[in-house]
Structure 1
Amino acid sequence: MDAEQTDLWQRLADYEIGPPGAAFTFAQRLARENRWSGEYAARVLSEYKRFCWLACEAGHEATPSDAVDQAWHLHLTYSRDYWDRFCPQILLMPLHHGPTAGGTAERTRYYDQYAQTLASYEAHFGEPAPLDIWPGARRRFVVDPLNARVNPADVLIVPRGLAYGLALAIAILMLGLVALAIT
Protein backbone atom coordinates (compact mmCIF):
# COMPACT_ATOMS: atom_id res chain seq x y z
CA MET A 1 0.00 0.00 0.00
CA ASP A 2 1.25 3.47 -0.85
CA ALA A 3 0.88 5.30 2.46
CA GLU A 4 0.75 8.72 0.87
CA GLN A 5 -2.41 7.82 -1.08
CA THR A 6 -4.47 7.14 2.06
CA ASP A 7 -6.97 9.38 3.79
CA LEU A 8 -4.94 9.12 6.99
CA TRP A 9 -1.87 10.46 5.22
CA GLN A 10 -3.83 13.39 3.79
CA ARG A 11 -5.06 14.30 7.28
CA LEU A 12 -1.50 14.02 8.67
CA ALA A 13 -0.01 16.05 5.82
CA ASP A 14 -2.54 18.86 6.37
CA TYR A 15 -2.22 18.84 10.17
CA GLU A 16 -0.29 21.55 12.04
CA ILE A 17 0.59 20.97 15.69
CA GLY A 18 -0.35 23.67 18.14
CA PRO A 19 -2.48 26.77 18.05
CA PRO A 20 -2.91 28.39 14.63
CA GLY A 21 -0.93 31.59 14.22
CA ALA A 22 1.36 30.96 17.20
CA ALA A 23 4.30 33.36 17.24
CA PHE A 24 6.54 30.47 18.37
CA THR A 25 5.60 27.41 16.34
CA PHE A 26 5.90 23.77 17.28
CA ALA A 27 8.70 23.32 14.72
CA GLN A 28 10.60 26.30 16.16
CA ARG A 29 10.24 24.92 19.68
CA LEU A 30 11.37 21.47 18.50
CA ALA A 31 14.46 23.04 16.90
CA ARG A 32 15.31 25.14 19.96
CA GLU A 33 14.84 22.37 22.51
CA ASN A 34 17.03 19.96 20.55
CA ARG A 35 19.54 22.50 19.20
CA TRP A 36 18.60 21.57 15.63
CA SER A 37 18.43 23.79 12.60
CA GLY A 38 14.96 24.84 11.51
CA GLU A 39 15.35 22.75 8.36
CA TYR A 40 16.27 19.61 10.31
CA ALA A 41 13.40 20.12 12.77
CA ALA A 42 10.97 20.45 9.84
CA ARG A 43 12.30 17.17 8.40
CA VAL A 44 11.92 15.46 11.80
CA LEU A 45 8.36 16.73 12.00
CA SER A 46 7.64 15.18 8.57
CA GLU A 47 9.17 11.92 9.78
CA TYR A 48 7.05 12.10 12.94
CA LYS A 49 3.96 12.18 10.73
CA ARG A 50 5.27 9.12 8.84
CA PHE A 51 5.85 7.37 12.16
CA CYS A 52 2.29 8.16 13.26
CA TRP A 53 0.99 6.69 10.00
CA LEU A 54 3.02 3.52 10.62
CA ALA A 55 1.84 3.33 14.25
CA CYS A 56 -1.76 3.31 12.99
CA GLU A 57 -1.44 1.29 9.78
CA ALA A 58 1.66 -0.95 9.75
CA GLY A 59 -0.07 -3.83 11.54
CA HIS A 60 2.56 -4.06 14.29
CA GLU A 61 3.81 -1.90 17.13
CA ALA A 62 5.98 0.86 15.71
CA THR A 63 9.03 2.25 17.48
CA PRO A 64 10.33 5.74 16.62
CA SER A 65 13.88 6.90 16.12
CA ASP A 66 15.27 9.11 18.88
CA ALA A 67 14.71 12.28 16.83
CA VAL A 68 11.13 11.28 16.03
CA ASP A 69 10.62 10.38 19.69
CA GLN A 70 11.69 13.92 20.64
CA ALA A 71 8.95 15.28 18.35
CA TRP A 72 6.45 12.87 19.92
CA HIS A 73 7.47 13.85 23.47
CA LEU A 74 7.07 17.52 22.65
CA HIS A 75 3.71 16.89 20.96
CA LEU A 76 2.49 15.14 24.11
CA THR A 77 3.18 18.36 26.07
CA TYR A 78 0.63 20.05 23.81
CA SER A 79 -1.86 17.80 25.59
CA ARG A 80 -5.11 19.46 24.50
CA ASP A 81 -3.97 19.46 20.89
CA TYR A 82 -2.71 15.87 21.12
CA TRP A 83 -5.69 14.29 22.92
CA ASP A 84 -8.57 16.55 21.84
CA ARG A 85 -7.64 17.12 18.20
CA PHE A 86 -4.78 14.95 16.89
CA CYS A 87 -5.84 11.51 18.13
CA PRO A 88 -9.63 11.76 17.60
CA GLN A 89 -9.71 13.92 14.46
CA ILE A 90 -6.49 13.07 12.60
CA LEU A 91 -5.55 9.54 13.65
CA LEU A 92 -9.12 8.53 14.52
CA MET A 93 -7.68 6.50 17.41
CA PRO A 94 -5.59 7.03 20.55
CA LEU A 95 -1.82 6.72 20.17
CA HIS A 96 -0.21 6.11 23.55
CA HIS A 97 3.49 6.48 24.24
CA GLY A 98 4.84 3.39 26.00
CA PRO A 99 8.34 3.83 27.39
CA THR A 100 10.48 0.79 28.09
CA ALA A 101 10.36 -0.93 31.46
CA GLY A 102 14.09 -1.65 31.06
CA GLY A 103 16.07 -4.86 31.01
CA THR A 104 17.34 -7.19 28.32
CA ALA A 105 13.95 -8.50 27.21
CA GLU A 106 12.61 -4.97 26.72
CA ARG A 107 15.74 -3.86 24.85
CA THR A 108 15.38 -6.86 22.54
CA ARG A 109 11.66 -6.18 22.03
CA TYR A 110 12.20 -2.52 21.12
CA TYR A 111 15.24 -3.35 18.97
CA ASP A 112 13.15 -5.85 16.98
CA GLN A 113 10.16 -3.48 16.77
CA TYR A 114 12.42 -0.69 15.51
CA ALA A 115 13.95 -2.93 12.84
CA GLN A 116 10.41 -3.94 11.80
CA THR A 117 9.38 -0.26 11.75
CA LEU A 118 12.25 0.54 9.38
CA ALA A 119 11.23 -2.33 7.08
CA SER A 120 7.59 -1.19 7.13
CA TYR A 121 8.69 2.38 6.43
CA GLU A 122 10.43 1.29 3.23
CA ALA A 123 7.53 -0.97 2.21
CA HIS A 124 4.85 1.69 2.72
CA PHE A 125 6.70 4.86 1.72
CA GLY A 126 8.69 3.32 -1.15
CA GLU A 127 12.09 4.46 0.08
CA PRO A 128 14.39 3.77 3.01
CA ALA A 129 14.06 6.02 6.04
CA PRO A 130 16.65 8.84 6.05
CA LEU A 131 19.62 7.66 8.12
CA ASP A 132 20.26 11.05 9.71
CA ILE A 133 16.83 10.83 11.34
CA TRP A 134 16.31 7.05 11.45
CA PRO A 135 19.69 5.41 12.20
CA GLY A 136 20.01 1.63 12.14
CA ALA A 137 18.72 -0.41 15.07
CA ARG A 138 22.20 -0.96 16.54
CA ARG A 139 22.88 2.78 16.61
CA ARG A 140 19.42 3.50 18.06
CA PHE A 141 19.58 0.95 20.89
CA VAL A 142 23.28 0.40 21.61
CA VAL A 143 25.17 3.63 20.82
CA ASP A 144 22.60 6.42 21.20
CA PRO A 145 21.37 5.45 24.71
CA LEU A 146 24.85 6.40 25.93
CA ASN A 147 24.23 10.05 25.05
CA ALA A 148 23.10 12.70 27.48
CA ARG A 149 21.25 15.91 26.81
CA VAL A 150 23.23 18.81 28.25
CA ASN A 151 22.82 22.54 28.29
CA PRO A 152 25.87 24.03 26.53
CA ALA A 153 25.49 27.15 28.67
CA ASP A 154 26.55 25.00 31.64
CA VAL A 155 29.37 22.97 30.11
CA LEU A 156 32.16 23.17 27.57
CA ILE A 157 31.60 20.63 24.83
CA VAL A 158 34.77 19.54 23.07
CA PRO A 159 34.68 17.00 20.25
CA ARG A 160 36.49 13.77 21.16
CA GLY A 161 39.21 14.18 18.50
CA LEU A 162 40.01 17.72 19.61
CA ALA A 163 40.07 16.65 23.26
CA TYR A 164 42.57 13.87 22.48
CA GLY A 165 44.72 16.30 20.50
CA LEU A 166 44.70 18.84 23.34
CA ALA A 167 45.52 16.14 25.90
CA LEU A 168 48.43 14.96 23.76
CA ALA A 169 49.73 18.53 23.32
CA ILE A 170 49.51 19.15 27.08
CA ALA A 171 51.30 15.86 27.81
CA ILE A 172 54.12 16.74 25.39
CA LEU A 173 54.39 20.23 26.91
CA MET A 174 54.55 18.77 30.42
CA LEU A 175 57.24 16.26 29.39
CA GLY A 176 59.21 19.12 27.85
CA LEU A 177 58.93 21.16 31.06
CA VAL A 178 60.02 18.17 33.14
CA ALA A 179 62.99 17.58 30.80
CA LEU A 180 64.00 21.25 31.14
CA ALA A 181 63.70 21.10 34.93
CA ILE A 182 65.93 18.01 35.11
CA THR A 183 68.71 19.55 33.03
Structure 2
Amino acid sequence: MTTTVRENSDRITLYITEQVDAGHEEEFKAWARGILEAAAAHPGSAGTGLLPPSGEGEPWRLLLHFEDAAAFRSWHESPVRAACLAKGRADGYHRMVGRQELLGVDGWFAATAGPAPAGEAPKGPPGRWKMWIVSTLAIAPITSVVNLFLVPHLSALPVLARTVLMAPVICFLMVYVAIPLVTKGLRRWIFPD
Protein backbone atom coordinates (compact mmCIF):
# COMPACT_ATOMS: atom_id res chain seq x y z
CA MET A 1 0.00 0.00 0.00
CA THR A 2 1.46 3.38 -0.97
CA THR A 3 1.33 6.60 1.00
CA THR A 4 0.36 9.93 -0.55
CA VAL A 5 0.90 12.31 2.37
CA ARG A 6 2.49 15.68 1.56
CA GLU A 7 6.12 16.03 2.64
CA ASN A 8 5.48 19.15 4.74
CA SER A 9 2.12 18.22 6.22
CA ASP A 10 1.02 18.70 9.80
CA ARG A 11 0.09 15.94 12.21
CA ILE A 12 -1.31 12.88 10.45
CA THR A 13 -3.92 10.50 11.81
CA LEU A 14 -4.19 7.07 10.21
CA TYR A 15 -7.81 5.97 10.64
CA ILE A 16 -8.33 2.26 9.97
CA THR A 17 -11.54 0.24 10.22
CA GLU A 18 -11.32 -3.53 10.70
CA GLN A 19 -14.18 -5.99 10.39
CA VAL A 20 -13.80 -8.79 12.95
CA ASP A 21 -15.49 -12.17 12.67
CA ALA A 22 -17.88 -12.94 15.52
CA GLY A 23 -16.24 -14.87 18.35
CA HIS A 24 -12.74 -13.53 17.60
CA GLU A 25 -12.98 -10.19 19.41
CA GLU A 26 -10.47 -11.09 22.15
CA GLU A 27 -7.88 -12.31 19.64
CA PHE A 28 -8.39 -9.15 17.61
CA LYS A 29 -7.97 -6.92 20.68
CA ALA A 30 -4.68 -8.69 21.49
CA TRP A 31 -3.43 -8.17 17.91
CA ALA A 32 -4.61 -4.54 17.87
CA ARG A 33 -2.90 -3.82 21.21
CA GLY A 34 0.33 -5.23 19.75
CA ILE A 35 0.32 -3.08 16.62
CA LEU A 36 -0.81 0.02 18.53
CA GLU A 37 1.92 -0.44 21.16
CA ALA A 38 4.49 -0.84 18.37
CA ALA A 39 3.18 2.33 16.66
CA ALA A 40 3.18 4.26 19.95
CA ALA A 41 6.83 3.32 20.52
CA HIS A 42 7.81 4.41 17.00
CA PRO A 43 9.69 7.75 16.75
CA GLY A 44 7.30 10.56 15.89
CA SER A 45 4.20 8.84 17.26
CA ALA A 46 1.64 11.21 18.76
CA GLY A 47 -0.48 8.45 20.31
CA THR A 48 -2.83 5.66 19.31
CA GLY A 49 -6.33 4.50 20.08
CA LEU A 50 -8.64 1.54 19.68
CA LEU A 51 -12.36 2.25 19.38
CA PRO A 52 -14.76 -0.67 19.83
CA PRO A 53 -17.76 -1.08 17.56
CA SER A 54 -20.89 0.82 18.53
CA GLY A 55 -23.11 -2.12 17.68
CA GLU A 56 -23.03 -5.83 16.95
CA GLY A 57 -21.36 -6.60 13.63
CA GLU A 58 -19.94 -3.09 13.26
CA PRO A 59 -16.19 -2.61 12.60
CA TRP A 60 -13.47 -1.74 15.10
CA ARG A 61 -11.46 1.44 14.51
CA LEU A 62 -7.76 2.02 15.06
CA LEU A 63 -6.28 5.51 15.29
CA LEU A 64 -2.55 6.09 14.86
CA HIS A 65 -1.40 9.70 15.24
CA PHE A 66 1.96 10.89 13.88
CA GLU A 67 3.67 14.25 14.35
CA ASP A 68 4.43 14.73 10.65
CA ALA A 69 4.76 13.08 7.24
CA ALA A 70 8.30 11.83 7.91
CA ALA A 71 7.21 9.99 11.07
CA PHE A 72 4.17 8.57 9.26
CA ARG A 73 6.25 7.37 6.31
CA SER A 74 8.88 5.89 8.64
CA TRP A 75 6.17 3.86 10.41
CA HIS A 76 4.55 2.91 7.10
CA GLU A 77 7.87 1.52 5.81
CA SER A 78 9.01 -0.08 9.08
CA PRO A 79 9.62 -3.84 9.37
CA VAL A 80 7.78 -3.82 12.71
CA ARG A 81 4.60 -2.60 11.01
CA ALA A 82 5.03 -5.14 8.21
CA ALA A 83 5.41 -7.98 10.72
CA CYS A 84 2.34 -6.88 12.72
CA LEU A 85 0.23 -6.64 9.56
CA ALA A 86 1.46 -9.99 8.24
CA LYS A 87 0.50 -11.68 11.50
CA GLY A 88 -2.92 -10.03 11.51
CA ARG A 89 -3.67 -10.99 7.91
CA ALA A 90 -2.45 -14.56 8.48
CA ASP A 91 -4.89 -14.97 11.38
CA GLY A 92 -7.76 -14.55 8.91
CA TYR A 93 -10.49 -13.49 11.34
CA HIS A 94 -10.33 -9.77 10.62
CA ARG A 95 -9.86 -7.66 7.52
CA MET A 96 -9.36 -4.00 6.81
CA VAL A 97 -12.51 -2.42 5.37
CA GLY A 98 -11.40 1.20 5.40
CA ARG A 99 -8.25 3.33 5.60
CA GLN A 100 -7.94 7.12 5.64
CA GLU A 101 -5.03 9.49 6.17
CA LEU A 102 -6.33 12.59 7.94
CA LEU A 103 -4.22 15.74 8.06
CA GLY A 104 -4.08 18.24 10.90
CA VAL A 105 -7.33 18.98 12.73
CA ASP A 106 -9.27 16.38 10.68
CA GLY A 107 -7.80 13.71 12.99
CA TRP A 108 -9.44 15.32 16.04
CA PHE A 109 -12.84 14.42 14.65
CA ALA A 110 -12.04 10.90 13.41
CA ALA A 111 -12.89 9.25 16.72
CA THR A 112 -16.38 10.76 16.75
CA ALA A 113 -17.45 9.76 13.25
CA GLY A 114 -18.81 6.35 14.24
CA PRO A 115 -19.22 3.34 12.01
CA ALA A 116 -20.83 3.48 8.60
CA PRO A 117 -23.98 1.52 7.80
CA ALA A 118 -23.41 -1.94 6.29
CA GLY A 119 -22.15 -1.77 2.73
CA GLU A 120 -21.09 1.89 2.95
CA ALA A 121 -17.65 3.42 3.26
CA PRO A 122 -16.55 4.41 6.79
CA LYS A 123 -17.45 7.94 7.79
CA GLY A 124 -14.59 10.39 7.67
CA PRO A 125 -14.31 13.77 9.31
CA PRO A 126 -17.07 16.34 8.78
CA GLY A 127 -16.76 19.34 6.47
CA ARG A 128 -14.18 21.93 7.47
CA TRP A 129 -16.86 24.56 8.10
CA LYS A 130 -18.40 22.28 10.75
CA MET A 131 -14.96 21.71 12.30
CA TRP A 132 -14.48 25.49 12.39
CA ILE A 133 -17.78 25.97 14.26
CA VAL A 134 -17.07 23.11 16.70
CA SER A 135 -13.53 24.39 17.34
CA THR A 136 -14.84 27.92 17.93
CA LEU A 137 -17.42 26.63 20.41
CA ALA A 138 -14.64 24.72 22.21
CA ILE A 139 -12.06 27.53 22.19
CA ALA A 140 -14.38 30.38 23.30
CA PRO A 141 -15.01 29.14 26.85
CA ILE A 142 -11.38 28.08 27.28
CA THR A 143 -10.03 31.50 26.32
CA SER A 144 -12.57 33.14 28.63
CA VAL A 145 -11.51 30.94 31.56
CA VAL A 146 -7.80 31.49 30.83
CA ASN A 147 -8.29 35.27 30.56
CA LEU A 148 -10.28 35.40 33.79
CA PHE A 149 -8.22 33.09 35.98
CA LEU A 150 -4.73 32.64 34.53
CA VAL A 151 -3.79 35.88 32.77
CA PRO A 152 -4.12 38.09 35.89
CA HIS A 153 -1.52 35.93 37.65
CA LEU A 154 0.85 36.04 34.68
CA SER A 155 0.51 39.72 33.72
CA ALA A 156 3.95 40.62 35.13
CA LEU A 157 5.64 38.17 32.74
CA PRO A 158 6.75 39.02 29.20
CA VAL A 159 4.33 38.04 26.43
CA LEU A 160 6.49 35.13 25.25
CA ALA A 161 6.71 33.64 28.77
CA ARG A 162 2.93 33.99 29.23
CA THR A 163 2.34 32.28 25.91
CA VAL A 164 4.69 29.40 26.76
CA LEU A 165 2.86 28.88 30.07
CA MET A 166 -0.68 29.23 28.69
CA ALA A 167 -0.31 27.16 25.50
CA PRO A 168 -0.07 23.74 27.24
CA VAL A 169 -3.04 24.60 29.48
CA ILE A 170 -5.17 25.66 26.51
CA CYS A 171 -4.11 22.62 24.43
CA PHE A 172 -4.83 20.22 27.31
CA LEU A 173 -8.28 21.71 27.86
CA MET A 174 -9.01 21.62 24.11
CA VAL A 175 -7.92 18.02 23.53
CA TYR A 176 -9.15 16.40 26.73
CA VAL A 177 -12.15 18.51 27.76
CA ALA A 178 -13.64 20.93 25.22
CA ILE A 179 -13.45 19.06 21.89
CA PRO A 180 -14.78 15.77 23.38
CA LEU A 181 -17.66 17.59 25.11
CA VAL A 182 -18.61 19.74 22.13
CA THR A 183 -18.36 16.90 19.60
CA LYS A 184 -20.41 14.64 21.88
CA GLY A 185 -23.07 17.31 22.34
CA LEU A 186 -23.24 18.16 18.63
CA ARG A 187 -22.64 14.66 17.26
CA ARG A 188 -25.96 14.43 15.39
CA TRP A 189 -25.34 17.79 13.71
CA ILE A 190 -21.68 17.06 12.92
CA PHE A 191 -22.44 13.59 11.55
CA PRO A 192 -26.06 13.56 10.32
CA ASP A 193 -27.53 10.16 9.48
TM-score when normalising by structure 1 = 0.31
Which structure features the higher share of strand residues?
Answer: 2
TM-score when normalising by structure 2 = 0.30
Instruction: Give the number of the structure whose alpha-carbon radius of gyration is greater.
Output: 1
